């Protein structure tokens, strides 16, 4: 933060070959591994281990990367990216019980890490090859997972 003529000036860092879009997903995971006992699940996952689930309003930031198209001036049209995010993320996850309503999580523990992997894999089906750079999932303001497909 800098000051100029008595006004606060916030510096913004922008990489011209990256574009991103953000959305929020309200849903209900249940952090519970079938490979662990009830006691081990409670010890490992704490209050997130609830047989009836618990709610989150995940915030998801998707970053795409590539060459800037000389005609459009964009890496990717953000309207298209938002449409793909709606289809790949919101339609399958919005207001869902992840463990009961999303087949992917029938055998996968619905941690934020696995939610990020799910989002990455689903987005890959919609986006042009090699353009997806990063999926960032905020479980809370302080609990954040970044997944780059590895």
Give the residue numbers annotated as catalytic, written as ranges. Answer: 48, 95, 139
For 74, other C-beta atoms within 10 Å of its C-beta total: 15
| Residues 115, 104: Cα–Cα separation, whole Å | 10
CA-CA-CA-CA dihedral for 22, 23, 28, 32, to nearest 10: -20
Q: Which helix (H) or strand (E) holds 144?
A: strand 144-147
- The half-sphere exposure of 126 on its side-chain side, counting CA atoms within 13 A, is 18
Among candidates 121, 129, 127, which has minimal Cα distance to 150?
121
**Token representation of residue 58:** 């995940």
């Amino acid at each position: 933060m800098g000051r100029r003529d008595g006004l606060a000036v916030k510096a913004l860092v922008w990489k011209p070959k990256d574009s991103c879009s953000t959305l929020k997903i309200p849903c209900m995971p249940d952090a519970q591994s079938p490979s662990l006992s009830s006691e081990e699940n409670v010890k490992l996952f704490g209050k997130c281990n609830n047989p009836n689930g618990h709610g989150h309003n995940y915030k998801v930031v998707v970053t795409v990367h590539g060459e800037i198209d000389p005609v459009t001036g964009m890496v990717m049209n953000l309207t298209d990216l938002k449409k793909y995010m709606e289809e790949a993320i919101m339609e399958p996850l919005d207001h869902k019980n992840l463990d009961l309503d999303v087949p992917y999580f029938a055998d996968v523990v619905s941690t934020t890490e696995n939610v990020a992997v799910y989002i990455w894999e689903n987005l890959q089906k919609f986006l042009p090859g090699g353009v997806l750079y990063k999926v960032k999932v905020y479980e809370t303001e302080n609990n954040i997972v970044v997944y780059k497909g590895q």
